[in-house]
Structure 1
Amino acid sequence: MTRLLSVNSYHYRRGGSDAVYLDHAGLMEELGWENAFFSMHHPKNYPTPWSKYFIDELEFGHAYSAAQKLVMAAKVVYSFEAQRKLRRLLDDFKPDIAHLHCIYHHQSPSILSTLSKAGVPTVMTAHDLKIACPAYKMLNDTGICERCKDGSVLNVIKHRCVRGSLAASAVVAAESGLHRMLNTYQRHLSKVVVPSRFFMEKFVEWGWPREKFAYIPNYVDASRFEPQFTPGGYFLYFGRLAPEKGVGTLLRAAAQAGVALKLAGTGPEDAALRALGAELGGGAEFLGYQGGAALWDLIRGARAVVLPSEWYENAPMSLLECFALGKPAIGARIGGIPEMIEEGVNGWVFGSGNVAALADRLRQVAALPEARLEDMGKAAREIVASRFSRDRYVEATLSLYAELGVSSS
Structure 2
Amino acid sequence: MTPGILQVFNRYLSPGGEEMSVNRIFQHLSAQHAMSRCFFDSADWKGESAPGPAGQARRLFYNKESRAQFETALDASGAGVALFHNIFPVGSPSLYHAALERRLPVVQYLHNYRPFSVSGTLQVDGKVVQDALYGSYWKEISSGAWQGSVVKSALFAVMLKALHRSGWLKSVKAWIAISDFMRQKLVSSGSLPEARVHTLRHAWDAMPQPPVAEDAGYYLFLGRLVETKGVIPLLDAWDELRAQLGKKTPSLHIAGEGPLNDAVQQRVRTNPYIGQLGHTGGETKREALRRCRAVIVPSTWWEPLGLVVYEAYDYSKPVLAANSGGLSEIVQHGVTGLKHEPGNVHGIVQDVLAMEATPATERLVIGSAGRQWLLREASPQAWLQRFEKILAEAVKS
Q: TM-score of the superposition, structure 2-length normalised?
A: 0.91
Deviations 1:232-264 (A, max 9, x none): 311000111111111111122123222211011
Q: Secondary structure at the match of 2:120?
A: coil
1:169 equivalenced with 2:170 (yes/no): no
Tell me by how many angstroms 1:210 deviates.
1.2
Counterpart residue type for residue 297 of structure 1: E
1:314 equivalenced with 2:301 (yes/no): no
1:76 equivalenced with 2:65 (yes/no): no
Q: Where does 1:118-129 land on structure 2 (aligned, <5 Å)?
A: 118-129=102-113
Distance in 1 of aligned mates of 2:287 and 2:126:
37
Aligned residues of 1:255 and 1:282 also touching (Cα < 8 A): no
Partner residue in 1 for 2:244: none
Distance in 2 of aligned mates of 1:182 and 1:134:
18
Counterpart residue type for residue 199 of structure 1: M
Counterpart residue type for residue 259 of structure 1: P
Aligned residues of 2:299 and 2:342 also touching (Cα < 8 A): yes
Tell me by how many angstroms 1:224 deviates.
5.3
Aligned residues of 2:123 and 2:140 also touching (Cα < 8 A): no
Q: Secondary structure at the match of 1:87?
A: helix
Distance in 2 of aligned mates of 1:23 and 1:171:
32
Partner residue in 2 for 1:355: 345
Q: TM-score of the superposition, structure 1-length normalised?
A: 0.89
Partner residue in 1 for 2:21: 20
Distance in 1 of aligned mates of 2:106 and 2:364:
44
Provide the identity percentage: 22
Partner residue in 2 for 1:274: 265
Q: Where does 1:150-299 land on structure 2 (aligned, <5 Å)?
A: 150=134, 152-185=136-169, 187-207=170-190, 208-223=192-207, 226-257=210-241, 258-279=249-270, 281-299=271-289
Tell me by how many angstroms 1:372 deviates.
0.2
Q: Secondary structure at the match of 2:132?
A: coil
1:59 equivalenced with 2:45 (yes/no): yes
Tell me by how many angstroms 1:219 deviates.
1.5
Deviations 1:328-382 (A, max 9, x none): 1000011111100111111110011111111011011012111001111111110
Counterpart residue type for residue 207 of structure 2: S
Partner residue in 1 for 2:5: 4
Partner residue in 2 for 1:48: none
Distance in 2 of aligned mates of 1:74 and 1:218:
34
Distance in 2 of aligned mates of 1:371 and 1:227:
17
Partner residue in 1 for 2:35: 35
RMSD: 2.2
Q: Secondary structure at the match of 2:253?
A: strand
Tell me by how many angstroms 1:165 deviates.
0.9
Counterpart residue type for residue 21 of structure 2: V
1:330 equivalenced with 2:314 (yes/no): no
Deviations 1:177-226 (A, max 9, x none): 211221433x2211011111111011113212111111111121113563
Counterpart residue type for residue 183 of structure 2: M
Counterpart residue type for residue 27 of structure 2: G
Of residues 137-146 and 210-219 in structure 1, the stretch that sits farther from structure 2 once superposed is 137-146
Aligned residues of 2:321 and 2:340 also touching (Cα < 8 A): yes
Distance in 2 of aligned mates of 1:150 and 1:403:
27
Counterpart residue type for residue 336 of structure 1: G
Distance in 2 of aligned mates of 1:275 and 1:13:
23
Give the 3 Å change call, closer, same or farther, for CA 387–7 of structure 1 in structure 2: same
Give unpaired runs (5+ residues) of structure 1.
Answer: 43-56
1:102 equivalenced with 2:86 (yes/no): yes
Of residues 302-311 and 21-30 in structure 1, the stretch that sits farther from structure 2 once superposed is 21-30
- How many residues are aligned here? 387
Distance in 2 of aligned mates of 1:200 and 1:148:
15
Distance in 1 of aligned mates of 2:105 and 2:171:
9
